[in-house]
Amino acid sequence: MVVLAASIVSKNGKVLVSRQFVDMSRIRIEGLLAAFPKLIGSGKQHTYVETENVRYVYQPIEAMYLLLVTNKQSNILEDLDTLRLLSKLVPEYTMSLDEEGICQTAFELIFAFDEVISLGHKENITVAQVKQYCEMESHEEKLHKLVLQNKIDETKRRMKEEASKIDQMKIEKNRGNKGGFMSSMGSGRIESSFSDMSISSGGGGGFGSGSGFGLTSDVDSFPSKPKGRQPSSATAPPKGLGMKLGKSQRTNQFLESLKAEGEMIVEDVQPSKSTQYTSAAQKLTDPVTLTAEEKLNVTLKRDGGMSNFDVQGQLSLQILNPEDGLIQVQIETGGNPSVIFKTHPNMNKELFANENILGLRDPSRPFPACQTGDAGVGLLKWRMQSVDESMVPLTINCWPSESGNETYVSIEYEASSMFDLRNVVIAVPLPALREAPNVRQIDGEWKYDARNSILEWSILLIDNSNRSGSMEFVVPPGDSSAFFPISVQFSATSTYSELKAVNILPLKGGAPPKFSQRTQLITDNYQVV
């Protein structure tokens, strides 16, 4: 049996979807499908029509035909079996059996047809298997989307930093113009006094002290800033400016040496604060935002076993507009008996215990609106403790073994199927080394922090495709205890409590405000000791 094409056409001959399984030109398939409506006679009960070269096997579906174009040597019984399977798949992927519904789900139907027919031959497959294969997640696609999202976030972060630097430069320029105006009004004696002036008296006069950015705070508080704020005497004569530039050059050399050793250098302090507030304000887009966050504290033993497992969670509410404050939140929990919930003292405990609704004791009081930089109002807290090792999302095994003048270290991780872990970083302490370790094999990426003597193993995403992985490296001989404690960091978009908001109930009537919810599991202290 060779199926040339599987198509869905209207009764007037319009082609809605067609999938070819052999190499054939577009002109030929269009000609075959255009001739099909003319071959169907009225009043005939046959479900196939033959021509000199091909056979049409068809089945009416509402105002359309599901059609198989085969060669004349194919088995008609197998063709009918294939047609019946395809007729069951079409309603599964199409909301309405009309032209508009077929065109909207054209690609889904083509993917389903590809699972049934391969190179013109029918696969031994069922409807349930076709749906499962088409819905399977792709690790490569998820990884690509995650990398793309990380690039977008990094670009936004850099854009905010550059905007903050531009604002800071404007402030410096305005202060510099004031200092230049003051120096231009004086005589030569004033100019000489600028160069002889001590740092402690900088910003004197009405300008430096009035603005709160005198030379004393700028120079003494941030001696390592290569791009610190310029003092109010930035437009002073070249003598003072030359001394300032000399100091900045030596500072830059010192910072570059620190960066080469792996030290993180914060070059601008003030813009970073404004960046945090700006990002916090831009994150809120919906009128109501609910954030469920769990922090994981786990201590694993290097020889196996677990000494501590503690999960602490909180549900926070953020409201943009004060008029949306008169609401109640209906939630659902996963029914985990190990999770113990505790409401805020101002919440109605009976309402939560009976109906899983979070509301204030006084229904006439609104929830406060969120200010810029606020973390929101805490509604609910919960905690879970366990001694069951199967609850651990990620286990780490470290095997150092000394051989001759080298120590071979093999580390492997095993992740539970409960969560998909993102941005996993496994930090392994190393003995003091003169050069980076020799990493021979790794599933992921690695980075060596020479200043702190730490080897960081990074995995962007751990899902069903890579629930286990390993890394092997070689270092000079040393004590096995030098590779502990191992610290682990990761995040996940699902939680142990499985708590989620179901609905927002307005107390003043009307339509409920639009809301969004965020769920996150992060590590607070996750170690192998």
Read off the pLDDT of each residue in 192-213 and give the average, rounded to a whole number: 40
Segment 69-80, tens digit of pLDDT:
999 888 888 889
Contacts of 98 (CB under 8 A, 6+ apart): 62, 63
Q: What distance in Å separates the CA atoms of residue 364 and residue 124, rounded to the nearest whole number?
A: 64
Name beta bridge partners: 403: 406
Distance between the two ends of the chain, CA-based, in angstroms? 64
Segment 49-61, tens digit of pLDDT:
888 889 999 998 8
For every residue of 500-519, DSSP letters joined together read EEEEEEESS-SSPPPEEEEE
Higher local confidence (pLDDT), 361 or 237: 361
Q: Would you state the pLDDT for residue 183?
A: 45
Do 419 and 521 contact (CB within 8 A), yes or no? yes
Q: Would you state the pLDDT for residue 173?
A: 83
Q: pLDDT at residue 393 above 90? A: yes
Q: Which of 42-56, 137-151, 152-166, 485-499 has the lowest mean pLDDT?
A: 42-56
Read off the pLDDT of each residue in 385-401 and give the average, rounded to a whole number: 92
Q: Which of 31-45, 304-318, 420-434 has the lowest mean pLDDT?
A: 31-45
Confidence at 293, pLDDT banded by 50, 70, 90: very high
Segment 331-349, tens digit of pLDDT:
998 888 889 999 999 899 9
Segment 314-328, tens digit of pLDDT:
999 999 888 888 999
Question: Which amino acid is present at 406?
Answer: E
Q: What distance in Å separates the CA atoms of residue 51 and residue 58, rounded to the nearest whole number?
A: 14
Beta strands in 109-165 (DSSP E): 117-118, 121-122
Q: Would you state the pLDDT for residue 495?
A: 94
Q: Which of 242-251, 354-363, 442-451 has the lowest mean pLDDT?
A: 242-251
Cα 445 versus chain centre, distance = 18
Q: pLDDT at residue 206 above 70? A: no
Q: Would you state the pLDDT for residue 475?
A: 92
Name beta bridge partners: 448: 455
Q: What distance in Å separates the CA atoms of residue 43 and residue 300, rounded to the nearest whole number?
A: 77
Read off the pLDDT of each residue in 483-500 and give the average, rounded to a whole number: 93
Q: Would you state the pLDDT for residue 204?
A: 40
CA-wise closest residue to 90 among 125, 127, 120, 53: 127
Confidence at 271, pLDDT banded by 50, 70, 90: very low
Q: What distance in Å separates the CA atoms of residue 400 and residue 431, rounded to the nearest whole number?
A: 12
Confidence at 280, pLDDT banded by 50, 70, 90: very low
Segment 207-233, tens digit of pLDDT:
343 433 333 333 343 444 444 444 433
Q: pLDDT at residue 245 above 70? A: no
Segment 403-459, tens digit of pLDDT:
888 899 999 999 999 999 999 999 999 988 888 999 999 999 999 998 889 999 999
Do 197 and 216 contact (CB within 8 A), yes or no? no
Angle between helices 139-185 and 270-283 (to 10 degrees): 130
Read off the pLDDT of each residue in 469-474 and give the average, rounded to a whole number: 94
The backbone region for 335, taken as left when phi is positive above 0, alpha when psi lies in -120 to 50, beta otherwise, is left
Read off the pLDDT of each residue in 139-159 and give the average, rounded to a whole number: 87
Residue 117, Cβ neighbours under 10 Å: how many?
22
Higher local confidence (pLDDT), 186 or 82: 82
Q: What distance in Å separates the CA atoms of residue 345 and residue 347, rounded to the nearest whole number?
A: 6
Alpha-carbon distances of 509 from 132, 331, 502, rounded to whole Å:
43, 20, 18
Q: What is the DSSP letter of 526?
A: E
